[in-house]
C-alpha cells in the first residue's frame, strides 16, 4: 500500500508497493521495480556513487494509472492498477495481506501491463552531499525523507513482508544501510 511521503520539490507524494504479488513501487506517476531501486541504493551506499540511472515506467494520465481503492474493493478495475488487481486480486482474508517475497518473479507480467498504459522511461538518481538531498527523477527528497523511503522498502511497506522475511535484494540494502 503506497503511503504519503514528503518531498522537497512536490510536497506530499505517494510512494510504495501497491500489489502484494509484485515488487513494483509507485512513485507518484512513475513505477520502479524494487529490485532496481534496491540495487541503486546499494550502489549509493557501498560504492559511493552519486549519480545512477534506474529503469522506470511512466503513466502520465491519472485515469490510466487507475483507482487503487476501487481495485482493492473489487468495485472498479480501471487503468493499470485495476488490470493488476484483475490478475492478482486483493486477498479475501485480510490476514493474507502481506507483501510477497517472490513478487519479483512476476516482473514480466507487470511490465506488459505497464506498457499497455504507459511507457518505458528511466529515472536519474542523484545524491547531493552538499545540501544533503537526493533526487529521484523530478522529485527531490531531504536525506531524512529518502531514508524513510528506504526504510519503507526494507519493512515491506504496509503490510510488511510475509512472515517478516524480506527477499535477498532487500536484505542486501538493509545490511548496507546498517
Output the pLDDT for position 130.
83
Query: Across residues 33-39, what is the average pLDDT?
Result: 96
User: What mean pLDDT is reported for the chain?
Assistant: 93
The model's pTM = 0.92
Quick one: pLDDT at residue 128? 85
Is the pLDDT score of 76 beyond 90?
no
What is the pLDDT, as a whole number, of residue 47? 84
Q: Provide DSSP, 59-102.
A: --SHHHH--HHHHHTTS---HHHHHHHHHSPPPSSGGG--B-TT
What pLDDT, on a 0 to 100 scale, did the predictor assign at position 146?
94
Domain that holds residue 153: 3-177
Q: How many separate domains does the chain show?
A: 1
Is the separation of the CB atoms in 33 and 107 below 8 Å? yes
Range of lowest pLDDT (39-43, 69-73, 146-150): 69-73
Question: Which bin fits 124, alpha (ψ -120 to 50), beta or left (φ > 0)?
Answer: beta
Output the pLDDT for position 44: 87
Tell me the pLDDT tens digit for each residue of 122-156.
999 998 888 899 999 999 999 999 999 999 999 99
**Quick one: average pLDDT of 23-30?**
96
- On the question of pLDDT at 60 being above 90, the answer is yes
Amino acid at each position: 500500500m503506497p503511503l504519503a511521503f514528503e518531498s522537497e520539490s512536490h510536497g506530499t507524494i505517494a510512494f510504495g508497493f501497491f500489489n502484494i504479488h509484485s515488487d513494483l513501487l509507485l512513485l507518484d506517476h512513475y513505477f520502479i521495480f524494487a529490485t532496481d531501486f534496491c540495487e541503486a541504493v546499494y550502489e549509493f551506499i557501498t560504492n559511493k556513487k552519486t549519480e545512477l540511472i534506474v529503469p522506470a515506467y511512466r503513466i502520465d494520465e491519472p485515469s490510466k494509472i487507475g483507482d487503487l481503492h476501487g481495485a482493492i474493493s473489487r468495485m472498479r478495475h480501471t487503468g493499470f492498477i485495476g488490470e493488476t488487481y484483475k490478475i492478482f486480486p486483493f486477498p479475501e482474508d485480510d490476514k493474507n495481506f502481506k507483501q510477497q517475497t517472490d513478487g519479483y518473479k512476476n516482473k514480466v507480467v507487470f511490465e506488459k501491463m505497464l506498457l499497455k498504459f504507459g511507457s518505458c522511461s528511466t529515472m536519474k538518481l542523484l545524491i547531493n552531499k552538499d545540501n544533503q538531498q537526493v533526487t529521484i527523477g523530478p522529485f527531490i527528497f531531504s536525506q531524512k525523507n529518502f531514508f524513510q523511503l528506504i526504510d519503507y522498502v526494507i519493512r515491506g511497506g504496509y503490510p510488511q513482508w510475509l512472515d517478516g522475511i524480506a527477499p535477498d535484494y532487500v536484505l542486501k540494502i538493509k545490511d548496507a544501510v546498517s
